[in-house]
């Protein structure tokens, strides 16, 4: 590497709430740590406390020092959050990192503020997704915007996973003086694009395992069970369809791990019962391997109210599934209108109409609703490992002190 000697020996600390690389955010943090190691950085990873004893994000990374901060949790608990801020500040003061690189909204705010107070000269934040959106209440949105503005006072660099995220931060005056780059992450879409088709008998067997017969039209959704993913809206949309489409089934792939997620699952199960959809809505729980699920879906739905990229939507598209989605910025940025059925934001009846449009075309064996091969190949290349690694190597190589402001300047320049 041309800039390896420049980075050699410099200490970089990644901070993320999620303590496992079984999820996309943790996996990408691990991969960024690997890139920094290859460039000659000394890398530490700080994670919060998960709900279970999960595989640690640093597992299998020789040379990485791992720190767990139990007070740093995924969801908001004010007393714990104050302690997490103090714990991170103390750690950063002791370790004297040259660079702190934070991920996700909560670790991003607490980690950057702690790094700023500790005098860390270079503070980077990866914006994996929107920390505020129209789906939040006015009070929540105002709080999150102001927290991002506060953390932005000490942020020297941003990496945005999508262009619309960068534009949203700029529109709200967040981190106006920081260096900002859009770097599409490696989503490993080539694996999905090149997945061999399932033999007919194997596909039939998999569907039977979930109570699905050859007559069923399977609407699939892959997502964590959290309200922002809006499983409840697609369940309500299905209720509008069942009289005309009794063969339609909704297969929801995703688990409830945290207590907040378990509460949402209970809410969804109650909704299914209230709408008399038992047997028509199937919950699979958490699944590590999802390609086979895409292969037994007939179409894919994205009722999510906000996404940075919509990873599962992109996976479904590269596998050739017709997709129905709400009108959100990620869809506009990544999907031409001819490739996705787009429905007015948050409107259940319009979502039902979009689903019915696809069901009707599937029933007549139309191929017009499937994404084109050229588009699928372009997506796989746009989110490829080689592109992401090349841009991140350049980004890390340019993290030199003369391109960053001191912490005192960060606080005073705005």
Instruction: Provide, rounded to the nearest whole percent, the portion of the chain with pLDDT above 90.
Output: 65
pLDDT exceeds cutoff 60 at 184 = yes
Mean pLDDT across 190-207: 93
Q: What pLDDT sits at residue 246?
A: 96
Q: What pLDDT sits at residue 273?
A: 97
Task: Name the pTM for this structure.
Answer: 0.85
Q: How far is CA 25 from the centre of its chain?
A: 6
Mean pLDDT across 187-216: 93
Q: Distance (Å, rounded) from C-alpha 62 to C-alpha 320?
A: 38
Most confident listed range (42-51, 232-241, 281-290): 232-241
Show the domains of the chain with their CATH numbers. Answer: 4-186+384-412 (3.40.50.2000), 189-382 (3.40.50.2000)
Rounded to the nearest 10°, the torsion over CA 290, 326, 28, 113 is -140
pLDDT in tens, 135-152: 677 788 888 899 999 999
Mean pLDDT across 10-35: 80
Locate 147 and state its tokens.
Answer: 């927290």
pLDDT exceeds cutoff 50 at 38 = yes
Cα distances (angstroms) measured from residue 247 to each of 143, 213, 281, 362, 365? 45, 9, 12, 12, 16
pLDDT exceeds cutoff 70 at 19 = no
- 8-12, 17-21, 233-237, 267-271, range with the lowest pLDDT: 17-21
pLDDT exceeds cutoff 80 at 7 = no
Q: What pLDDT sits at residue 22?
A: 58
pLDDT exceeds cutoff 50 at 169 = yes
Q: How many beta carbons lie within 10 A of that of residue 189, not counting itself?
A: 23
Q: Distance (Å, rounded) from C-alpha 161 to C-alpha 288?
A: 23
* Beta bridge mates, 127: 160
* Helix residue ranges per DSSP H, 251-310: 259-274, 291-296
Spatial CA neighbour of 188 closest among 346, 325, 319: 319
* Beta bridge mates, 15: 46, 102
Locate 339 and state its tokens.
Answer: 């490739």
Q: Distance (Å, rounded) from C-alpha 320 to C-alpha 376?
A: 7
pLDDT exceeds cutoff 50 at 397 = yes
pLDDT in tens, 284-305: 998 988 999 999 999 999 999 9
pLDDT exceeds cutoff 60 at 335 = yes
Q: What pLDDT sits at residue 129?
A: 79
Q: Distance (Å, rounded) from C-alpha 414 to C-alpha 407?
A: 12
Instruction: Provide, rounded to the nearest whole percent, the portion of the chain with pLDDT above 70.
Output: 89
Q: What pLDDT sits at residue 101?
A: 96
Q: What pLDDT sits at residue 403?
A: 40
DSSP track, 166-220: HHHHHHTT-STTSEEEE------HHHHHTPPPPPHHHHHHHHHHTT--TT-EEEE
Q: Is the dihedral of CA 199, 203, 204, 208 positive or negative?
A: positive
pLDDT in tens, 60-98: 678 888 888 888 887 777 888 999 999 999 999 999 999
Report the mean per-residue pLDDT for the chain. Answer: 88
Judge contact between 102 and 108, C-beta under 8 A: yes
Q: What is the largest CA-CA distance in the chain?
A: 67
């Amino acid at each position: 590497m041309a800039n390896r000697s420049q980075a050699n020996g410099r200490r970089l600390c990644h901070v993320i709430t999620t303590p496992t690389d079984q999820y996309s955010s943790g996996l990408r943090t691990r991969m960024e740590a690997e890139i920094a190691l290859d460039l000659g950085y000394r890398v530490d990873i700080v994670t919060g406390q998960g709900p279970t004893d999960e595989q640690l994000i640093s597992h299998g990374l020789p040379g990485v020092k791992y720190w767990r901060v139990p007070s740093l949790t995924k969801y908001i608990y004010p007393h714990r959050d104050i302690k997490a801020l103090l714990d991170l500040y103390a750690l950063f003061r002791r370790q004297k990192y040259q660079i702190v690189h934070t991920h996700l909204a909560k670790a991003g705010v607490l980690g950057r503020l702690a790094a700023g107070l500790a005098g860390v000269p270079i503070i980077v934040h990866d914006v994996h997704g929107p920390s505020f959106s129209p789906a939040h209440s006015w009070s929540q949105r105002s709080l999150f915007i102001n927290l991002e503005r506060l953390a932005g006072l000490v942020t020297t660099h941003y990496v945005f996973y999508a262009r619309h995220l960068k534009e949203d931060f700029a529109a709200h005056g967040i981190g106006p003086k920081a260096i900002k780059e859009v770097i599409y992450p490696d989503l490993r879409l080539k694996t999905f694009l090149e997945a061999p088709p399932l033999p007919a008998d194997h596909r039939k067997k998999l569907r039977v395992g979930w109570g699905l017969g050859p007559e069923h039209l399977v609407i699939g959704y892959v997502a964590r069970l959290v309200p922002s993913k809006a499983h409840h809206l697609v369940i309500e949309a299905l209720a509008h369809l069942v009289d005309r489409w009794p063969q339609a089934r909704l297969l929801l792939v995703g688990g409830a791990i945290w207590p907040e997620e378990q509460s949402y699952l209970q809410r969804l199960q109650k909704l299914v019962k209230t709408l008399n959809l038992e047997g028509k809505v199937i919950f699979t729980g958490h699944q590590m391997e999802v390609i086979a699920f895409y292969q037994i879906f007939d179409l894919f739905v994205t009722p999510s109210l906000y996404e940075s990229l919509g990873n599962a939507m992109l996976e479904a598209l590269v596998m050739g599934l017709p997709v129905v989605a709400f009108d959100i910025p990620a869809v506009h940025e990544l999907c031409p209108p001819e490739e996705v059925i787009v429905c007015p934001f948050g409107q259940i009846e319009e979502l039902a109409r979009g689903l019915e449009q696809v069901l009707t075309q599937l029933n007549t064996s139309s191929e017009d609703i499937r994404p084109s091969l050229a588009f699928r190949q372009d997506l796989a290349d746009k989110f490829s490992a080689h592109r992401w690694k090349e841009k991140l190597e350049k980004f890390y190589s340019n993290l030199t002190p003369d391109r960053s402001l001191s912490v005192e300047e960060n606080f005073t320049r705005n």
